[in-house]
Structure 1
Amino acid sequence: MKIKTLIVDDEPHAIEIIQKYIKDFPQVELVAECNNAVQAFQILQQNKIDLIFLDIKMPGLLGTDLIRTLNNPPKIIFTTAYQDYALEGFDLNAVDYLLKPIPFDRFLKAMDKVFDLYKLEHQKIGIATHLPETKGDDFLYLRVERKTVKISVSDIYWMESLKDYIRITLKDRVLVSKQKIGVLEELLPDDKFIRIHRSFMVAVDKIESYHAYAIGILGKELPIGRNYKAECKKRLTQGI
């Protein structure tokens, strides 16, 4: 899972600094950057954003005023040259408040807070993620009956939604956890999994065959939903 991020600042140099720092974090995906709060509002309406690096004092609309317009704001790290805004920033439940010029060690502490929040949130809903620094080391923690079970992402063949539960098929076992398939879709890497039906999500590298209405995996056929056909055709004809 990538933390989708937006930078909002009217100073080009400030944007460049944060861009440079973000490159050291493979878990973070920079979706966009802009130089005023109105542009940021439009980007937020069109994209799923998890984290904003937000300058406060900008022409037109203050960063703090932008946050007040949002019903469900992302996580916020305020960036500003003005210490006086710190209290107001934290009143808006900001993760952190960075004073310009931002040193890398201070930026690192702010990101550590972001990662801790993600871990806590996933634990609250019964699932935790490990955000790997290298590929092949990723795993999930799932609540199965009264135990927490560690599952390697590479062992997953497919997932099936059962209302408020999800059934995960591995090569040698099947697990059932109280969880929504949409939550797992957000957590699992986009390049390794594909949603083929409102009730099914599969590992791309485990697919054995494919036709217009179903995919073959582990000797079984799983249906492709009408609303997922175009994306399946695009993804699977490239990989099979």
Structure 2
Amino acid sequence: MINCIVVDDEEHAIEVIQHYLKSVTAIEILATFTNPIDALSFLSSNPVDLIFLDIHMPGISGIEFIQTMNNRDALVILTTAYKEFATAGFDLDVVDYLVKPIPLPRFLQAINKAQKIINTQKNSIITNHQHNDYFMVKTEAKGKMLKINISEIDFVEGMKNYVAFHHNGIRTLALLTMKDVEENLPKAQFLRVQKSFIVALNRIISIDGNRVILKGISTEILIGDTYRKDFFDVIKQRLIL
């Protein structure tokens, strides 16, 4: 899921983007702002993948907004009624430049471009580990990457904007989705038991009904209905009758 915010001093312009995004299931609007200062404050403490940003706003322009914001990892799609600012926008490495009134086909073209960039970035955050025993993840701290040994992972917990790796007695938040993690962890060693949890099979010490109990961990994880059959199919392969 791609997280975005919309920053525009005109409510109508925000409503247009909100309406267009209803047809894009892979993007979630975290917040909208008519005051760019409020948006900058939000960005300082919230991870965002994509920003729809107006150029002409009171107090601070869209160009100044980009130069000021701390979260430089967020991609930007500029929106404005003035074509002449396109060069300035692309000098700041924005994804696209949409001129109001924005036609839906042109909007979707910009979205496709942003999705390709973001998906490429996210796929490169977690390394291919088929021949390794560890990987690196980008953490919530800007610019920081952390090594995680696969053998030390107890379970992975999905959160709103992150996933949490519980490993070696600590918890590491990473800018990934559960799908990213599930696709990259060794399938012979890890199993998804519900929407928000992936467990290491070698950490399971017992299964009590719908509950999975892990070694050395007080957390009891419920098995979700969607994942129940696949989970017990794997467990039955290891069952001695």
Q: Which TM class, normalised by the smaller chain length?
A: 0.5 to 0.7
Which residue number in structure 2 is paired with residue 83 of structure 1? 83
Question: Which amino acid counterpart does residue 31 of structure 2 have in structure 1?
Answer: A
Q: 1:193 is matched with which residue: 193, 196, 199?
A: 196
CA contact (8 A) 1:76 1:96 kept: yes
| TM-superposed deviation, 1:220 | 4.7
Aligned residues, how many?
A: 178
2:62 matched to which residue of 1? 63
Q: Distance in 1 between matches of 2:45 and 2:58?
A: 22
The C-alpha deviation readout for 1:130-165, integer Å capped at 9, x for no partner, is xxxxxxxxxxxx54128xxxxxxxxxxxxxxx9433
Question: Structure 1 residue 125: deviation in Å?
Answer: 3.6
Alignment partner, residue 7 of structure 1: 6
Instruction: Determine the structure 2 residue equivalent to 1:112.
Output: 112
Report the TM-score when normalising by structure 1: 0.62
Q: Secondary structure, in 3 states, of the residue corresponding to 2:44?
A: helix
Q: Deviations over 1:53-73 (max 9, x none)?
A: 000010110011011112432
Alpha-carbon distance between aligned partners in 2 of 1:183 and 1:112, rounded to the nearest angstrom: 27
Distance of 2:81 and 2:7 partners within structure 1: 14
The DSSP-based 3-state class of the residue aligned with 2:215 is strand
Asked if 1:145 corresponds to 2:131, the answer is yes
2:139: which partner in 1?
Answer: none
Q: After superposition, what is the alpha-carbon deviation per residue over 1:81-137, rounded to whole angstroms, capped at 9, x for unaligned? A: 01111011111110111000001100111011111112321343455xxxxxxxxxx
Alignment match of 1:166 (pick from 137, 150, 153): 150
Deviation, 1:25, is 1.3
Gap change, CA 1:113 and 1:208, over 3 Å in 2: farther
The residue that corresponds to 1:103 in the other structure is: 103
SS at match of 2:105: helix
Q: CA RMSD in A?
A: 3.7
User: CA shift at 1:185, angstroms?
Assistant: 6.4
Measured in 1, the distance between the counterparts of 2:130 and 2:174 equals 15
Q: What per-residue deviation string (whole Å, max 9, x for no partner) do you get for residues 29-61 of structure 1?
A: 111101121111111123221110000010110
- Identity within the alignment, %: 38
